[in-house]
Amino acid sequence: MTNRTPRLALGPVPYYWSRQDLRDFYTRAAGWPVDILYLGETVCSKRRSYATGDWLKTAETLQAAGKEVVLSTLALIEAESEVKTLRRLCGNGRFRVEANDLGAVRLLMDAGVPFVTGPTLNIYNPRTLGLLARHGLRRWVLPVELSRDTLADMQTARPDGVETEVFAYGRLPLALSARCFTARSRNLPKDDCRYCCLDYPDGRLVSTQEDAPFVVLNGIQTLSAATGNLLPHLEELRALEVDVLRISPQSQQTERVLDAFASCLAGAQNSRAASDSLAKLAPQGFADGYWRGVEGMAKLDSPYPANREIA
């Protein structure tokens, strides 16, 4: 493998933001140092600040600004109304689609159009990657729980014409449930949640009884408390021929994160120093355990636990 310079992508906003906040965010994003933008609601269909038409209009504006735009689908489909929206996205005829569940994959395969798979798709081996590539896969996102060693194996057998994207910065998407944990934390039923996710623009932190940060609630989604950060591993990512690095949006200072990655990719800044400069943006610290093949919540630079039992 030879080193290459990855492009930068801005993932879909995982949180529930107001219509004005989304509009302002993407107006600014048009001028940020990012090549690819993923647009759409991936967590909960009740989040209707933006309708499908709004996402399509935003996609047109960003494409006119020179960005590659990808429309992202829900990761958990539960209702017929959600299927109708999914069909509209998959059949939009203009923008590539990121499939976040197998239902979307099937629709895109049947339509014979190229597609991207998101980090919620369980692509764990070269055989799966090859099967999807034969049916239109053009870029896949490494599931966040997989390690650099697994990625190395996958890259060795990667089909021609398929790009690899890695989730490089942001709170890690860990799990989805039919239940809404944010509503439950407010003693509200899911069907009458009062859109309380709007009160938590970066999710709601949950701590242990010892007051240690544990996870973040984001509606039906559970995220890591610590921020996943692979910027210090930039040279490894280059050597593994990763094509795209994904930055997950946060309510504040997303541009600063993108600037740090862009600066390091251009060789203008040391990746370790740049990572240190972002520490204040991650109040629960940085984690890179999954990438190193240890516990996902292992902090950046922490050693492999000496007392860990191997099954």
- Spatial CA neighbour of 169 closest among 304, 3, 281, 298: 281
Q: What is the pLDDT of residue 303?
A: 60
**Domain 7-170+226-274 adopts which CATH fold?**
TIM Barrel (3.20.20)
Tell me what pLDDT residue 307 has: 38
Q: In sequence order, what are the beta bridge partners of 205?
A: 216
pLDDT the model gives residue 4: 75
Place of tokens 């593994």: 240
Pairing of strands 163-176, 137-141: parallel
The whole-number pLDDT of residue 222 equals 98
Can you give the residue ranges of every domain in the chain? 7-170+226-274
- Mean pLDDT, 10 residues at a time, over the chain (311 residues)? 82 98 98 98 96 97 98 96 96 97 97 97 96 98 97 96 98 96 96 97 96 96 97 97 98 98 96 95 95 90 48 30
| Cα 28 to Cα 11: distance, rounded to the nearest angstrom | 15
CA 193/CA 171 separation, integer angstroms: 23
